[in-house]
């Protein structure tokens, strides 16, 4: 019986492993968005009167929509009633405010940018910003302090990302894949996601940290500044509920999601 042929002694078989991309390398849409926030923040170098004008024109001021104020005029005119639903999210009070929002956005925004692609990602950020502004308007209809900050969009990105973040192979699972693969695992059905104790626990920590550190869209007038919690909630629920409209990845069936979740927990033991 012939024995299996063997390669010559000087022949070496080399098996190359596919490169494993770091999970938090930034896709270009997120890099462009962060660069835009940083560029816009250079407005703090403007003379005080111009900086204040920028806040008045592009910040979100609920009093602007008060129809009972016949003689009160705001900078920006009628157009500001439209664009400030989004533009307020591109402004920040100071470098710390900007840094907190960017740091919160990096893991969730990176996954969403890879999953959605550039156009969907930018539209999603705009929609969640508008939802946060609407929530702030409903609850602070007579406020004259401008609201600024990207936290409504950050909250929306986080809410959307948790729909798939803990699924086996995704970026917060025990057995995650490379960045692109991790961002494109099938998402959990909404009610299944809200029953996952890891997701519930994560949300509890997130809300607690928000309370402690005061991350959020804030006013810019000294002692009157405060955290716009309603904007956070508006952006969060918009991201959670509208995720399906933006998501190009096919849905996972409920029992498949349960199997994946159970397997992921087993792998982590």
Is it the case that residue 82 has pLDDT exceeding 90? yes
| 90 falls within a domain | yes
Among 93-102, 189-198, 226-235, top mean pLDDT goes to 93-102
- Averaged over 25-31, what is the pLDDT? 91
> What phi and psi, each to the nearest 5 degrees, are found at residue 205?
-65, -40
Q: What is the CATH number of the domain that holds 97?
A: 1.20.1540.10
3-state secondary structure of 168: coil
Show the domain range for 138: 28-267
Alpha-carbon span 182 to 165, nearest angstrom:
8
| 2 falls within a domain | no
pLDDT single digits (tens) 118-163: 999 999 999 999 999 999 999 888 888 899 999 999 999 999 999 8
pLDDT band at 171 (very low <50, low <70, confident <90, very high): confident
Contact partners, residue 191, CB within 8 Å, separation at least 6:
none
| 233 falls within a domain | yes
> What pLDDT shows up at residue 213?
58
| 169 falls within a domain | yes
Is it the case that residue 169 has pLDDT exceeding 70? yes
pLDDT single digits (tens) 179-192: 888 888 888 888 88
Q: What is the pTM of this model?
A: 0.78
- Averaged over 42-50, what is the pLDDT? 93
Count of domains forming the chain? 1
Question: Is 114:179 a contact under the CB 8 Å cutoff?
Answer: yes
| 42 falls within a domain | yes
| 21 falls within a domain | no
Question: Is 132:235 a contact under the CB 8 Å cutoff?
Answer: yes
Alpha-carbon span 40 to 150, nearest angstrom:
12
pLDDT single digits (tens) 223-264: 345 677 788 889 999 999 999 999 998 875 544 544 444 444
| 15 falls within a domain | no
Encode burial over 92-128: b for 16+ CB neighbours within 10 A, e otherwise.
Answer: bbeeebbebbbebbebbbbbbbbbbeeebbbebbebb
- 75 to each of 80, 83, 87, 155, 165, how far by Cα in Å? 8, 13, 14, 28, 42
| 20 falls within a domain | no
């Amino acid at each position: 019986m012939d024995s299996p042929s063997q390669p010559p002694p000087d022949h070496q078989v080399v098996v190359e492993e596919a490169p494993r991309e770091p999970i938090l390398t930034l896709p270009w849409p997120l890099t462009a968005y962060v660069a835009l926030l940083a560029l816009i923040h250079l407005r703090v170098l403007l003379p005080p009167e111009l900086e204040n004008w920028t806040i008045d024109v592009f910040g979100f001021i609920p009093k602007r929509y008060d129809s009972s104020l016949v003689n009160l005029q705001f900078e920006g005119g009628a157009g500001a009633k439209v664009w400030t639903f989004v533009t307020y999210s591109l402004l920040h009070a100071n470098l710390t405010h900007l840094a907190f929002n960017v740091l919160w956005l990096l893991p969730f925004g990176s996954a969403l940018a890879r999953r959605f692609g550039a156009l969907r990602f930018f539209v999603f950020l705009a929609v969640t910003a508008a939802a946060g502004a609407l929530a702030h308007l409903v609850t602070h209809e007579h406020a004259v302090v401008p609201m600024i900050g990207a936290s409504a969009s950050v909250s929306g990105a986080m809410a959307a990302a948790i729909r798939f973040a803990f699924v086996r192979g995704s970026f917060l699972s025990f057995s995650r894949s490379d960045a692109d693969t991790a961002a494109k695992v099938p998402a959990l059905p909404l009610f299944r996601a809200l029953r996952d104790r890891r997701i519930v626990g994560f949300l509890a920590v997130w809300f607690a940290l928000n309370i402690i550190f005061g991350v959020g869209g804030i006013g810019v007038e000294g002692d009157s500044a405060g955290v716009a919690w309603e904007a956070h909630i508006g952006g969060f629920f918009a991201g959670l509920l509208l995720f399906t409209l933006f998501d190009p990845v096919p849905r996972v069936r409920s029992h498949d999601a349960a199997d994946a979740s159970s397997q992921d927990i087993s792998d982590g033991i």
